[in-house]
């Protein structure tokens, strides 16, 4: 009986002792945490997708509070989320920031392109690129092995039958992961001010492009000559459209002999109507 | 004496019979040569001629830039017609000097003093001057090997006559036809290194070479000819050293860490020619074999187009399916033929379209055959999986940087997985990351 009492008393005393130490330590060594971080984590989607470029939602919350990241940095939560974060931070949302979408700057799929060798190896664009600069004759075009598709966390991309990545504009959050994954930097993030785009990145001379691809920009300059708004310039055998001057009249789309210039959002895609 | 060897490796079909008994044929001077400034590992050489310049055979057209670099010499006499990017076996266009032959054959070099009159330092300088690089395929500037880092000493020089790559016979023919030059080259290397210990390692599938070289080396007791078992990759530096001396190079280390320098047979012969005639590195032996009408070993001026080599061997038999510069295990496949022969082009292998199997790779079945054969004691299957999962740190922990891309794992893989390509890709990614961080 005696031993039970001793044990109980000992345990109680130890409990009190350690409790005191812990209480003291939690006060003494407490880490100051901005309560706003927890509040922001609560309004973020919580998918930890990393699309914002920060390590997960808590990483972004910390960056917004301490690192000066913009309140609308979460591409998944979009405007409603940004409004809530702005309320927590006590700032205004930048109304001018428009949603961005990924667009591919190449149309040279299996049917249009010419290959210089048969590639059988790792299905990875960067690995294929290491083998004599890739199987495609065009040094600039899409290799179609899907590094972008694998990088997309939102299931917005797939490789179509023509071996080109297709971007589902409804699912695309504009996070830019695909643009980073592409070894040839063929994916551009655009907002709705880019209404017409040159879907090619080749700086090769005209005859070389014709040999390599049916839909590449040959730098002929017909688009530049016919543009009523003077929005198109041809530099180094590649046409470029200035979105600020472009009126989306569609003359270049019609005149382009290679059919390289296309409307950014084709009809049929949901966002096209919004634009 | 039992043939020496190493652990792991694979047994291949060697297909050397097509050219092994054919003497080396001197190919006529080409009308034009294209000399890329990068035919070695290290910094590209710097072009030091202009369009319109007249050059003689042996004139420097591109000067070595820095210590780890090698000069490029004119391989024919004539006029420089172009300086600019040109096709290169590496796949990208690279700066090159094009020379049009004037047919005069004028040379810009003269015989020097001979080995006895040359000091070790002069020999090292000579290696640098003649633009000597490892002619087995890697192309590491030779002179660099003879300047060991502080605190290390070269005790042994090994000549690599294993020629373990299938199809190739260029080193074999050199050993049979020019044994004196092989021995002289090795003696010069031993003098440059300041050592009295020299080995020549030869696979036992070349009994004639072993016999001839043993006879030729009889007068010099310092040189030992070592028969090696026929196994791939017997001719890889680490394997060769392990087989001949029993020493093991530490992970991430170089042969010099165990006091050894390894050189190729062709490198030794080129050095011997420089000592005898003063001739820089302007030609090499190329085995043209496979699906060509008349396969043979050719002595070719550097910069000659591969096209001309094939034509000289009377063209293809059938439709070529794959053309490889070098051996089939490590050589890069090419999609065009207007490429110049470089210092490291040991062979032109043409495979017929019917020979090429289009293999579909499937998931790893964990059979561990690759682990059995990997001569570097790596686990290629684990490496492949780690890289596919994007885990480069894990790949580094598994020793990816020790892989020398011999291809044994891919050769035995029953799932036909492109393991070496995956590893090469990951290595380039790791290297890029390191560059970014430093």
Residues from chain B that touch A127, judged by Cβ atoms under 8 A, are 421-422, 424-425
| B428 in reach of chain A (CB within 8 A) | yes
| Contact status of B397 with chain A (Cβ, < 8 Å) | no
Where does chain A show beta strands of DSSP type E?
101-104, 157-159, 165-167, 187-190, 196-198, 232-235, 238-241, 261-263
Query: Which of 29-88 (A) contact B at CB < 8 A?
Result: none
The pLDDT confidence band at residue A274, using thresholds 50, 70 and 90, is very low
CB B159 within 8 A of CB B186: yes
A-chain residues within 8 Å CB-CB of B425?
A: 122, 124, 126-127, 130
Residues B276 and B111 sit within 8 Å (Cβ to Cβ): yes
- A contact test, residue of B353, B358, B421, B429 with most A CBs within 10 A: B421
Residues in chain A with CB shorter than 8 Å from the CB of B336 are 116
Average per-residue pLDDT in chain B? 92
B92 contacts on A by Cβ (under 8 Å) = 132-133
Q: Quick check: B92 and A133 CB within 8 A?
A: yes
Q: What angle separates helix B265-277 from helix B179-193, to the nearest 10 degrees?
A: 90
Kindly tell me if the per-residue pLDDT of B47 is higher than 70.
Answer: yes
Q: Is it the case that residue A266 has pLDDT exceeding 70?
A: no
Decide if B436 touches A, using CB distance below 8 A.
no
Q: What pLDDT does A272 receive? A: 40
Q: Is A22 touching B (CB cutoff 8 A)?
A: no
Specify the pLDDT at position A270.
Answer: 42
Q: For residue B309, is it within any domain?
A: no
Residue B292 lies in a domain: no
Contact B223, B200 (CB under 8 A): yes
How confident is the model at residue B310, as a pLDDT?
Answer: 94
Question: Measured between CB atoms, does A114 come within 8 Å of chain B?
Answer: no
- Interchain contact A189–B (C-beta under 8 A): no
**CA nearest to B383, candidates B370, B373, B375:** B370
Given a cut of 70, whether residue A119 has pLDDT beyond it is yes
B414: left (phi over 0), alpha (psi -120 to 50) or beta: alpha
Question: Which residue pairs, CB below 8 angstroms and at least 24 apart, start in B14-17?
Answer: B14/B166, B14/B167, B14/B205, B14/B230, B15/B166, B15/B167, B15/B289, B16/B166, B16/B167, B16/B168, B16/B169, B16/B172, B16/B205
User: Which pLDDT band holds residue A154 (cuts at 50, 70, 90)?
Assistant: confident
- Of B252, B277, B302, the residue that ends a domain is B277
Q: What is the CATH number of the domain that holds B226?
A: 3.40.50.11540
Residues B156 and B261 reside in one and the same domain: yes
pLDDT at A102 over 70: yes
Decide if B355 is inside a domain: no
Mean pLDDT of B86-97: 88
Distances in Å between the alpha carbon of B240 and those of B156, B216, B227, B255?
Answer: 13, 22, 11, 10
B332 CB neighbours in chain A (<8 A) are: 131-132
Q: Do B91 and A127 touch (CB under 8 A)?
A: no
Asked if A121's CB is within 8 angstroms of B421's CB, the reply is yes
Q: Predicted confidence band at B396 (pLDDT cuts at 50, 70, 90)?
A: very high
CA distance B295 to chain A (A): 24
Q: Give the residue-averaged pLDDT of B53-77.
A: 93
pLDDT of residue B336: 87
Residues B273 and B376 in one domain: no
In chain B, what residues touch A120 (CB-CB under 8 Å)? 358-359, 418
DSSP state of B356: -
Paired with A261 in beta bridges are A198
Q: How many CB atoms lie within 10 A of CB B108?
A: 15
Convert the pLDDT of each residue in B336-384 to its tens digit: 899 999 999 999 999 998 888 888 889 999 999 999 999 999 999 999 9
Chain A residue with CA closest to B423: the answer is A127
Kind and range of the H or E run holding B96: strand B94-101
Residues in CB range of A36: below 8 A, 6 or more apart: A65, A88, A89
Q: Is B301 contained in some domain?
A: no
Long-range contacts of B291-294 (CB under 8 A, 24+ apart): B291/B316, B291/B317, B291/B318, B291/B320, B291/B350, B291/B351, B291/B352, B291/B355, B292/B316, B292/B317, B292/B350, B293/B317
pLDDT at A271: 44
More confident residue, A135 or A69: A135
A-to-B residue pairs, Cβ atoms closer than 8 angstroms: 36
**pTM strictly above 0.95:** no
- Which of B174, B189, B127 has the alpha carbon at shortest distance from B23? B174
Ranges assigned E (strand) in A145-208: 157-159, 165-167, 187-190, 196-198
- Quick check: B425 contacting A, CB < 8 Å? yes
> Does the CB of A121 have a partner CB in chain B at under 8 Å?
yes
Do B271 and B375 sit in the same domain of this protein? Answer: no
A117 close contact with B: CB closer than 8 A: yes
CB contact at 8 A, B184 and B293: no
Q: Is residue B207 a part of any domain in this protein?
A: yes
Between the two ends of chain A, the Cα-to-Cα distance in Å is 85
Chain B partners of A121 at a C-beta cutoff of 8 Å? 418, 421
Determine the Cα–Cα distance for residues B398 and B70; give it in Å rounded to an integer. 34
Q: Which has the closest alpha carbon to A145: A154, A135, A155?
A: A135
Across B112-131, average pLDDT: 89
Three-state DSSP at B222 gives coil
B116 touches chain A (CB under 8 A): no
Taking 50 as the threshold, does the pLDDT of residue A95 lie above it? yes
Residue A130 has its nearest CB partner, among B334, B359, B425, at B425
Which of A118, A120, A133 comes nearest B359 by C-beta?
A120
B358 interfaces chain A, CB cutoff of 8 Å: yes
Are A241 and A251 spatial neighbours (Cβ–Cβ below 8 Å)?
Answer: no
- Select the residue from B335, B387, B427, B429 to test the A interface by mutation, using most A Cβ atoms within 10 A: B335
**Is B125 part of a structural domain of the chain?**
yes
Last residue of a domain, one of B277, B303, B318: B277
Model confidence band, residue B438 (pLDDT cutoffs 50, 70, 90): confident
For B386, the domain range is 369-437
Q: What percent of chain B has pLDDT over 70?
A: 100
Question: Could you give all domains of chain A from N- to C-terminal order, each with its CATH number?
Answer: 35-89 (1.10.15.40), 101-263 (3.30.70.20)
Cα–Cα dist B424/A194, whole Å: 39
Query: Can you tell me the mean pLDDT for A121-134?
Result: 87
In this prediction, residue B1 carries a pLDDT of 57
Q: Give all strands (DSSP E) within B25-77, no chain letters.
A: 25-26, 32-36, 46-47, 54-55, 60-63, 72-73
Q: By CA distance, what is B331's nearest residue in A?
A: A131
pLDDT at A125 over 80: yes
pLDDT value of position B120: 92
Decide if pLDDT at B247 tops 70. Answer: yes
Q: Shortest Cα distance from B100 to chain A (angstroms)?
A: 26
pLDDT digits (tens, 9 = 90+) for B145-185: 999 988 889 999 999 999 999 999 999 999 999 999 999 99
Angstroms from A145 CA to nearest CA on chain B = 14
Strands (E), B2-88: 25-26, 32-36, 46-47, 54-55, 60-63, 72-73, 78-86
Task: Please report the ipTM that was assigned to this predicted complex.
Answer: 0.80
**Is the sign of the CA dihedral A142, A147, A148, A149 positive or negative?**
positive
CA distance linking residue A87 with residue A85, whole number of Å: 5
Average pLDDT value for residue range B326-344: 91
CA A202 to chain B, closest CA, distance in angstroms equals 16
pLDDT of residue A267: 53
Are B422 and A130 inside 8 Å of each other by CB?
no
Q: Is A197 in contact with A231 (CB distance < 8 Å)?
A: no
**Residue B123 sits in the same domain as residue B269:** yes
**Does B5 fall in a domain?**
no
- On whether residue B53 sits in a domain, the answer given is no
How far apart are the C-alpha atoms of B277 and B272, rounded to whole Å? 8
**Strand B320-325 to B296-301 pairing:** unpaired
Please compute the mean of the pLDDT values over residues B200-204 and round it to a whole number.
94
For B335, the closest chain A residue by CA position comes to A117
Does residue B116 sit in the same domain as residue B256?
Answer: yes
Picking from B231, B252, B277, the residue at the C-terminal end of a domain is B277
What is the percent of chain A where pLDDT is above 70?
Answer: 95
- pLDDT beyond 80 at A197: yes
Give the C-alpha distances (Å, rounded to integers) separating B262 from A71, A102, B135: 61, 53, 12
- B377 and B273 within one domain: no
Q: Where are the beta strands (DSSP E) in A52-138?
A: 101-104
At residue A112, does pLDDT exceed 70? yes
Question: Is the CB of residue B431 less than 8 Å away from at least one CB of chain A?
Answer: no
Query: Å from B364 to nearest chain A CA?
Result: 13
B124 pLDDT above the threshold of 60? yes
Say whether pLDDT at A45 is over 90. Answer: no
pLDDT at A42 exceeding the cut of 80:
yes
Residue B305 bridge partners (DSSP): B340
Nearest 10 degrees: Cα torsion A252, A254, A255, A260 = 70
Say if B147 is an interface residue toward chain A (CB within 8 Å): no
Domain count, chain B: 2
B266 and B137 in a single domain? The answer is yes
Tokens of A84: 């809530």
Region of poorest pLDDT, from A87-96, B7-16, B290-299, B345-354: A87-96
pLDDT of A269 above 60: no
Q: Considering CB atoms only, which of A120, A130, A132 is closest to B424?
A: A130
**How many angstroms separate the CA of residue A58 from the nearest CA in chain B?**
23
d(CA B41, CA A255): 49
């Amino acid at each position: 009986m005696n031993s039970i009492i001793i044990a109980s008393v000992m345990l109680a005393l130890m409990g009190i002792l350690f409790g005191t130490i812990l209480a003291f330590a939690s006060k003494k060594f407490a880490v100051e945490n901005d309560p706003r971080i927890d509040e922001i984590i609560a309004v973020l989607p919580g998918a930890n997708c990393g699309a914002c470029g920060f390590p997960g939602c808590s990483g972004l919350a910390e960056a917004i509070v301490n690192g000066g990241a913009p309140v609308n940095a979460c591409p998944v939560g979009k405007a409603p989320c940004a409004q809530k974060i702005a309320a927590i931070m006590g700032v205004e949302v930048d109304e001018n920031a428009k949603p961005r979408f990924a667009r591919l700057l190449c149309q040279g799929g299996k049917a249009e392109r010419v290959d210089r060798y048969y590639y059988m190896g790792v299905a990875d664009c960067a690995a294929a690129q290491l083998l004599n600069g890739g199987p495609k004759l065009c040094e600039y075009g899409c290799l179609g092995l899907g590094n972008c598709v694998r990088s997309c966390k939102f299931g917005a991309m797939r490789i179509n039958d023509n071996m080109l990545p297709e971007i589902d504009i409804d699912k695309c959050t504009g996070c830019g992961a695909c643009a980073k994954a592409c070894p040839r930097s063929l994916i551009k993030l655009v907002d709705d001010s880019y209404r017409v785009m040159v879907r090619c990145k080749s700086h090769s001379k005209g005859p070389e492009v014709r040999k390599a691809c049916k839909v590449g920009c040959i730098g002929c300059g017909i688009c530049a000559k016919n543009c009523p708004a003077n929005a198109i310039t041809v530099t180094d055998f590649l046409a470029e459209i200035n979105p600020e001057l472009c009126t989306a009249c569609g003359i270049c789309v019609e005149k382009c002999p290679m059919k390289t210039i296309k409307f950014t959002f084709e009809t049929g895609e949901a966002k096209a109507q919004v634009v | 004496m039992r043939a020496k060897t190493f652990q792991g490796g694979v047994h291949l079909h060697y297909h050397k019979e097509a050219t092994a008994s054919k003497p080396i044929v001197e190919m006529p001077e080409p009308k034009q040569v294209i000399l890329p400034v990068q035919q070695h590992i290290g910094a590209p050489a710097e072009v030091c001629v202009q369009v319109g310049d007249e050059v003689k055979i042996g004139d420097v057209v591109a000067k070595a830039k820095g210590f780890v670099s090698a000069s490029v010499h004119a391989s024919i006499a004539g006029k420089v017609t172009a300086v600019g990017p040109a096709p290169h076996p590496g796949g990208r266009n690279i700066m090159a000097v094009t020379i049009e032959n004037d047919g005069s054959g004028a040379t810009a070099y003269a015989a020097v003093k001979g080995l006895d009159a040359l000091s070790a330092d002069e020999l090292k300088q000579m290696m640098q001057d003649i633009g000597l690089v490892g002619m087995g395929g890697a192309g590491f500037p030779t002179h660099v090997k003879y300047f060991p880092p502080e605190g290390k000493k070269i005790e042994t020089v090994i000549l690599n006559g294993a020629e373990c790559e299938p199809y190739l016979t260029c080193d074999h023919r050199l050993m049979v036809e020019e044994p004196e030059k092989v021995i002289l080259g090795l003696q010069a290397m031993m003098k440059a290194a300041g050592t009295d210990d020299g080995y020549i390692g030869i696979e036992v599938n070349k009994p004639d070479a072993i016999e001839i070289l043993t006879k030729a080396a009889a007068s010099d007791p310092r040189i030992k000819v070592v028969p090696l078992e026929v196994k791939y990759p017997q001719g890889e530096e680490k394997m060769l050293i392990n087989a001949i001396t029993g020493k093991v190079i530490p992970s991430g280390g170089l042969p010099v860490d165990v006091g050894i320098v390894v050189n190729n047979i062709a490198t030794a012969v080129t050095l011997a020619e420089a000592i005898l005639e003063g001739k820089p590195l302007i030609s090499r032996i190329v085995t043209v074999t496979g699906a060509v009408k008349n396969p043979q070993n050719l002595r070719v001026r550097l910069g000659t187009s591969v096209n001309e080599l094939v034509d000289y061997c009377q063209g293809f038999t059938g439709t070529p399916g794959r053309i490889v510069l070098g051996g089939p295990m490590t050589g890069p496949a090419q999609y065009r033929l207007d490429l110049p022969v470089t210092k490291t082009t040991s062979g032109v292998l043409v495979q017929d379209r019917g020979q090429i199997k289009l293999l579909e790779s499937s998931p790893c079945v964990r059979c561990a055959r690759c682990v059995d054969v990997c001569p570097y004691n790596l686990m290629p299957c684990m490496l492949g999986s780690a890289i596919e999962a994007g885990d480069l740190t894990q790949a580094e922990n598994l020793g990816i940087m020790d892989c020398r891309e011999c291809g044994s794992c891919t050769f035995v893989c029953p799932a036909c997985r492109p393991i070496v390509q995956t590893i090469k890709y990951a290595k380039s990614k790791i290297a890029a990351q390191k560059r970014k961080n430093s």
